[in-house]
Structure 1
C-alpha cells in the first residue's frame, strides 16, 4: 500500500467507527447492550451483538476482508462488555477501539489482502 492509501484506510476505519459508535448505535443499543443493567424484555447479548456486528460490517466494507470484520466484531463485543461492566473507562474503551483499527491495518500491510 502506498503511504496515502495507508492513511486513507486508517481514516476511513476511524470514520466508520465514529458512525457505528454514535448515530448507528443510538440510545436504544447503548442502553440495551449492558448485561450489568439490562433493559427489561431485551436480551443484552442481542443488543451488544447487533452493535458489534455493525462495527464488524464497517471494517469488512472498508478493508474488503470478512476476516477483519469478524475480528472487529469479536473485539468490539469484548471491549464494550468491559466498559459496560465498568472494568475500563470510556476513554480506554475508545483507545482500545482505535488500537484495533491500527492492528487491522497492520495486518493488511504485513499480509496483503486478507480473506
Structure 2
C-alpha cells in the first residue's frame, strides 16, 4: 500500500511534507477524533474518580488501544508503511500511559509524539 506522499522520502522537501502530514494526522486523531469518551476512558484514574457504572475501570486498556489504533492508521495512511503503523501503536500507547499515570505533562506528551513522527521520517531516509 502506498501512502499519501512518497515514502521513504527522497528529498528534504519530501521529508518536510511527510512530517507535516504526520503532525496533521496526529492533531486530527488527538483532538477532534479522540472525543470525550476515549479521552476519559483511556485513563483508569479518571474512571475511578468518576465512578460511573456505565464506564467500569476495566475498559481503560480497550479505550487506550482504540485511541492508539486511530493514530496508527493515520501513520499508515501517510506513509503506506504497516510496520511504522505498528510501531506508532505501541509507542503511542506507552507515551499516553505515561501521561495518564502523571509521569509526563501534556507538553512532554505532545513533544514525545512529535519526536516519534520526526524519527520515523529520519529513519526511513537513512534506511
**How do 1:16-35 and structure 2 match up within 5 A?**
16-35=25-44
Where does structure 1 differ by over 6 angstroms across 4 or more consecutive aligned residues?
none
TM-score (norm 1): 0.92
For the aligned residues, what is the CA RMSD?
1.1
**How do 1:48-63 and structure 2 match up within 5 A?**
48-63=64-79
The reply on whether 1:77 has 2:93 as its aligned counterpart is: yes
Provide, for residues 12-46 of structure 1, a one-character-per-residue CA deviation record: whole Å limited to 9, x for no partner.
00000000100110111000001223263361011
Aligned length: 111
Show structure 1 runs of 5+ residues with no match: none
TM-score (norm 2): 0.83
Show structure 2 runs of 5+ residues with no match: 1-9
Look up the match of 1:86.
Answer: 102
C-alpha deviation, 1:88, in angstroms: 0.4
C-alpha deviation, 1:108, in angstroms: 1.2
CA distance in 2, matches of 1:78, 1:92: 13
Give SS of 1:107's match: helix
CA distance in 1, matches of 2:13, 2:38: 35
